[in-house]
């Protein structure tokens, strides 16, 4: 039998260096390691950011797409645990927010503490996830229409038809993980949580976004941007600036903490 080794989710180890903050991002459904390039590239040099690669895409194309969000979170946490330090923040948008949350809880189990901060976007609090709209029964045409709606009309992935034709199996696997997600109550985290949402997102309004407050005993902050579900594609500069400001406050590097 051929030994099909699993490749790593991280394209490189999160670098520890004086004066830098490490940001590890979990992609949205169907997204790859370049899911957030439109705003990550605008972060200041003090932020070392990367987006993880999930099975079934890019260099991990030969692997089966993930089928269970909890098991995927455990795999990612195992890879991140050796690199956990006071300057690491975990981010996720939409499905990535649920994944980031479960990765942070798994890190707490493994290491005894969470990262410096959890940043979530475009997702209701996990305790309310069961009431979210389900995607599993959508036809391909309905799914395409919904993707277009979430981008507010112009969806870059739909403009590249060859790429879109390859996406439905991975996208559907990711969406099924969200549909099947079951929240398990645990004590709230003690790290800050920052939650982002958008004013025209039909699935997550400000009240639902505020549900994340229940998941921490620490600081909770939230901000609403104009636009639909993928609002940051329209406001990359403003979003990157806001994320950088929250990171500087909640996950300062040792050098910046000394300067403060």
| CB-based contacts of 184, cutoff 8 Å, min separation 6 | none
| Helix residue ranges per DSSP H, the chain | 37-40, 69-80, 95-111, 140-151, 156-159, 161-166, 168-180, 206-209, 236-250, 254-259
How many whole angstroms separate alpha carbon 148 and alpha carbon 170?
17
* Phi, psi values for residue 139, rounded to 5°: -75, 170
From the candidates 7, 11, 33, 94, give the one annotated as an active-site residue: 94
Label the pairing between strands 88-93 and 47-51: unpaired
Task: Please confirm, yes or no, whether 94 is among the known catalytic residues.
Answer: yes
Residue corresponding to tokens 């990171």: 247
Go through 216-253 and write b for each residue having 16 or more CB atoms within 10 A of its CB, e for each that does not. Answer: beeeebbbbbebbbbbbbbbbebbbebbbebbbebbbb
Catalytic positions, written as ranges = 94
């Amino acid at each position: 039998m051929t030994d099909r080794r699993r490749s790593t989710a991280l394209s490189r180890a999160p670098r520890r260096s004086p004066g830098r903050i490490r940001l590890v991002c979990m992609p949205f459904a169907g997204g790859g390691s370049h899911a957030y390039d439109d705003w990550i590239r605008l972060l200041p040099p003090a932020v070392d950011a990367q987006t993880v690669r999930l099975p079934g895409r890019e260099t991990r194309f030969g692997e089966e797409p993930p089928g269970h969000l909890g098991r995927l979170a455990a795999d990612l946490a195992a890879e991140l645990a050796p690199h956990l330090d006071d300057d690491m923040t975990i981010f996720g948008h939409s499905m990535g927010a649920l994944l980031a949350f479960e990765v942070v809880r798994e890190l707490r189990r493994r290491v005894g503490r969470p990262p410096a901060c959890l940043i979530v976007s475009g997702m209701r609090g996990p305790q309310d996830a069961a009431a979210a709209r389900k995607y599993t029964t959508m036809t391909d045409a309905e799914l395409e229409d919904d993707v277009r709606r979430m981008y507010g009309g112009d969806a870059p992935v739909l403009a590249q038809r060859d790429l879109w034709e390859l996406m439905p199996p991975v996208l559907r696997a990711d969406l099924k993980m969200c549909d099947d997600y079951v929240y398990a109550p645990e004590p709230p985290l003690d790290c800050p949580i920052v939650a982002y949402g958008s004013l025209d997102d039909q699935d997550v309004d400000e009240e639902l976004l505020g549900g994340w407050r229940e998941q921490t005993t620490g600081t909770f902050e939230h901000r609403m941007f104009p636009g639909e579900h993928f609002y940051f594609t329209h406001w990359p500069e403003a979003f990157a600036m806001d994320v950088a400001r929250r990171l500087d406050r909640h996950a300062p590097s040792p050098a910046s903490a000394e300067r403060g």
